Structure 1
Amino acid sequence: MKFRTFAAFVGPSLLLMMIFIAAPLVSVLWQSFHLTQNVFETVETERCTPGFPNAVCETITVDRPVLDENGEIQTVTSFVGWQSYSRVLDPDALGAAISSGDWWSILNIDFWGALRFTLTFTLVTLPLVIGVGLLIAITVNNAVKTIRGPAIFISLLPFIITPVIGALSIRWLFVGDGILTALMESWSGQDIAMFAQGWTIELLMMFYRVWHVAPFAFVIFYAGLQTVNMDTLESAIIDGASRFERLRYVIVPHLMPLIVFIALIHLMDSYRVFEEVIGFRSEAHRISLQWLTFDYLTPDDSGNRSVSRASASSMLTMVGIVILLVPLLRRTWRDHKGS
């Protein structure tokens, strides 16, 4: 392919990536090292309270924001270096917890608690999504043609539902006197509160993610099963290979590039878990790195937002995603060079 033809195809994509991906990343990186604050001035004002026969007045000193000629609050931006990252990571509290041997207290620090949940959520749901998706794909592929279409349609329904709506639906089944909670209470004869402790909420969030994302893996694997070399599969059957052996030595190696692809997509998506935290309202028990960034950007009582800490949290989240993807990207690169 000529370079001009290649540039004509790739150029628009590269331009859009520079505008919508590279430029925002540079902006977030810059904001993580700078702090923008409102400019205040100290003024004296007189405050009077009703009194009899005369009002009682006193002079007080107050701080108020400085306005520019357009009536907007003036701000000043200063370079703070790694200060925002230090506030997010809180190394002093981390060091105190490590030195005292109280490892569980580390999870009380917002960032480290969010990191623990995010990593657990990502690494636990990854093999479940791949395993359930592959199981559904093999089942549908071996089903008779008359029920294959309806089976594909039903399997795709969880993936079609909007994530927040799906999370709320699962929550309504278990919260309070939900249908499934009432059934479990009638079966066990005990009061069950699924949302009273963090570990049950975490299990429900993982269950929802697998239920929601496994259909995506199913579609990819089902398409890959259509390209399996039937001669190789029939040779394995003739040689006496069992179903498990055919799956292990023929089907899984053939689907390995698709497994790596699904793992890449799932790692990037699950490490940015946010909808489950909002849908299950787990902020009091479990928070994620993405939710922590959202919390920093939420205005406080005075209307201020911690943009610098939110930017630092975003950059740390991106670094975590890159670290998780490195092994898979190295494998993909080795396979590409080998081919």
Structure 2
Amino acid sequence: MRFLFVAFILLAPPPIKPWLMRTLLGARIGRHVRIGWFAAISAHHIAIGDESEIRALTVISCSGDVAIGRYSIISSFILVYGASDLIIGDHSYVGPQTLINCDERVRIGSYSALGARCMVYTHGSFFPYTEGYWVRFGPVTIGDSVWCAAGVFIHPGVTIGDNVFVNSRSVVTQDVASGEVLEGFPARAVTTMDRLKRSMTPRRRDAAARQILAHFVELELRRELRLHVQEHDGQATVQVRGRPYLLLCVPARGDAPAAGDLAGRRVIALVTRPDWRVPGHAHIYPLDLLTYRTPRSNDPIHNALRSFLMRYYGIQLEYSDLSK
């Protein structure tokens, strides 16, 4: 009977899939969870946190438990299977065409990512063990703030610590300490994460926000949407479906925009000013790059910029009411 329920959910329209999983499978599904076309999950217990997404043509079939945290994305064309558990934290990402074997438990922490076409195995065997060939079994643990770039292969029994980058096409055969950067076949440490980072002063963060906004205007608004955008003094104005928009940055220092300057336009703002409060204006959508918060909206430009921040700059924002 459970197989029939899962097959029905696989074929069902995406808007009703969360309800069907709660009703038919007893799953705990959070708010605003999205499950795409021809995607399905089968497990002993299923829990998916708020705002997470399982994209189209992904199948997760585990005899153990499946738990996915808040704001996590499981992309398309992914296969997860096995006799044990899949545990994924908050704000994590599994890229398209990834394969995860869960015959032993696989745990992925929060703010971690597997790029496209990664492979995670918890068992390794093909040649006969009775003829002297080795086999290997073991759970795989990936810590918090780990980025495995495209095509990384993780062997059974591997534990990767926190704050780690594994370069693309690397093969991870042994445990990885926290804070390392690895690459190669087999993967070896080449430097540390601390050496890759630069300290971010308020001035540098303001410059980063201006760069992001200019990139968004060029790539998304001009190239993708083919809109006519006017730029002046770090601000951009554009008409979308007859509605005037103003895109700007609210820097850490200097004058902040007042409500009177913004009247009559829908405003999208990248904010790097501490404790900034939205002026008394109903059509301002701030994206706060200090608290990583933004209000929920149906505005297409606001949502496009939020997705752009995550896709191109690794900035993940949670929803909240910033006017309070």
Q: Is the structural similarity TM-score above 0.5?
A: no
Structure with greater proportional helix content: 1
TM-score by length of 1: 0.28
Structure with greater proportional strand content: 2
TM-score by length of 2: 0.29
Which structure has more relative contact order (CA 8 Å, sep 6+)? It is: 1
